[in-house]
Structure 1
């Protein structure tokens, strides 16, 4: 099932976008990003729809203009990472459908939070010398090694959040730093160390609580014993007075 993730950059125009793209994809994988652009005349009846992508080995854009009666006019741009299509009021368009297929590009810089991403498709409204962003659809991309390292860091993060261990927190920070530097073996090693330190700290805290509970119980017993002794001594004194 495809879901979409997008982020808007710059000035947003009145046109609305419904996007369909994978939330994440592996480097080198072929994916399709598509979008339906509606309210095309909200701002102006004469403008140019521009699209760009960071996908590689692009098989081409497919741009389909659809009228209220369902008539379609499709234009294809083979192998290009960008396209320009004029939008005119005379066309009486209900919406425009755009799709592009290509392979996921390499990761230039890894990031743990937020996860690194690339631009699957960026749509812009061009009028004269003015260019305004309509929508930017981003996709989280990863390698097999980075995916494994991220999963272990996620596990370490959950473990560290349950403790107050400085050692575990330090190892987690080091794991994230190694991840962002592309050193995935070290990221995994430090994540495992963070998990071990967190579990050790958790066990130590549990042991401390048990000891405190034991001491508390002894204090209560001592107080009860002392109370009983005092009560008996009072009774003995009372009996002597009689």
Structure 2
């Protein structure tokens, strides 16, 4: 293939990739209260504030979506002075709110509140996540641009116990400088976790941690033995040197 044809192919591929990437809206976002993780069924809430609303368009629709269950959205529009222009409440997994410069709206504040959903598919790595909130700008005609998305790790009591045990085992293996037996057992723990066998995963992980600790202990003992042997060799060399010099001194005396 000629360089010209190759270049055209590369450009065409880049154009396809560019077209596949959804544009990102220029709306500025800040958030409060977004947790890093949540147990299934726990109540979760977060607040998002949107500014720079009209960088691209003077009117558009703010769309919010979530995986939370039993959801309530509270949407407040504020003017430049911070006075409330309107307030709406929505129930369900999504909402749509019209935003327009003509309404004097300068800032939109959205609070989402609901319960962390069930985990559909347990995976140790990457950790299980759900969409706490996904916001997008929607124009007339349906063109959609992403604004921001928050994802949160969720877990059950059993899966959290297994994950904690696996993480502890991994730390022990790292401290030991690696151990084949412990690493193999840890792989069994991760596989059991992915199969939702959390009791087995916890047991495997605890065994892996013990194996790593034993390996580290053995290494420490072997190092002490080596240090002891080295110390004995040094002492032996010193004693030999002293005896050698003494014997040479005796020889000089006899010659004298």
Fold in common (TM above 0.5)? yes
Counterparts in 2 of 1:175 and 1:10: CA distance versus 1, 3 Å: farther
| Structure 1 position 150, deviation (Å) | 1.4
Give the corresponding residue for 2:251. 237
Give SS of 1:28's match. coil
Please say if 1:197 is aligned against 2:211: yes
State the distance in 2 between where 1:111 and 1:17 align. Answer: 30
State the distance in 2 between where 1:162 and 1:201 align. Answer: 10
Q: What do the CA deviations read for 1:107-135 (whole angstroms, capped 9, x no partner)?
A: 01223233211001110011233211101
| Structure 1 position 184, deviation (Å) | 0.4
Give the corresponding residue for 2:175. 162
Give the corresponding residue for 2:64. 51
Structure 2 residue corresponding to 1:214, chosen from 198, 223, 228: 228
| Structure 1 position 224, deviation (Å) | 0.8
Structure 1 residue corresponding to 2:103, chosen from 75, 91, 100: 91
Counterparts in 2 of 1:83 and 1:107: CA distance versus 1, 3 Å: same
User: Please, which runs of 5 or more residues in structure 1 have no aligned partner?
Assistant: 1-8
State the distance in 1 between where 2:128 and 2:97 align. Answer: 30
Number of residue pairs matched? 232
RMSD: 1.6
Please say if 1:185 is aligned against 2:202: no
The farther-off stretch of 185-194 and 120-129 is: 120-129
| Structure 1 position 212, deviation (Å) | 0.5
Structure 2 residue corresponding to 1:125, chosen from 137, 155, 165: 137
State the distance in 2 between where 1:118 and 1:193 align. Answer: 31
| Structure 1 position 10, deviation (Å) | 4.8
Please say if 1:152 is aligned against 2:192: no
User: Which has more helix, going by share of residues?
Assistant: 2
Give SS of 2:218's match. helix
Q: What do the CA deviations read for 1:131-166 (whole angstroms, capped 9, x no partner)?
A: 111011111111011111111112111111111211
State the distance in 2 between where 1:118 and 1:10 align. Answer: 21
Query: Contact 1:32 / 1:99 at 8 angstroms: preserved in 2?
Result: yes
Give the corresponding residue for 2:18. none
| Structure 1 position 52, deviation (Å) | 0.8
State the distance in 1 between where 2:188 and 2:222 align. Answer: 28
Give the corresponding residue for 2:77. 65
Query: Could you tell me the TM-score, scaled by structure 1's length?
Result: 0.90
User: Please, which runs of 5 or more residues in structure 2 have no aligned partner?
Assistant: 1-20
State the distance in 2 between where 1:221 and 1:102 align. Answer: 73
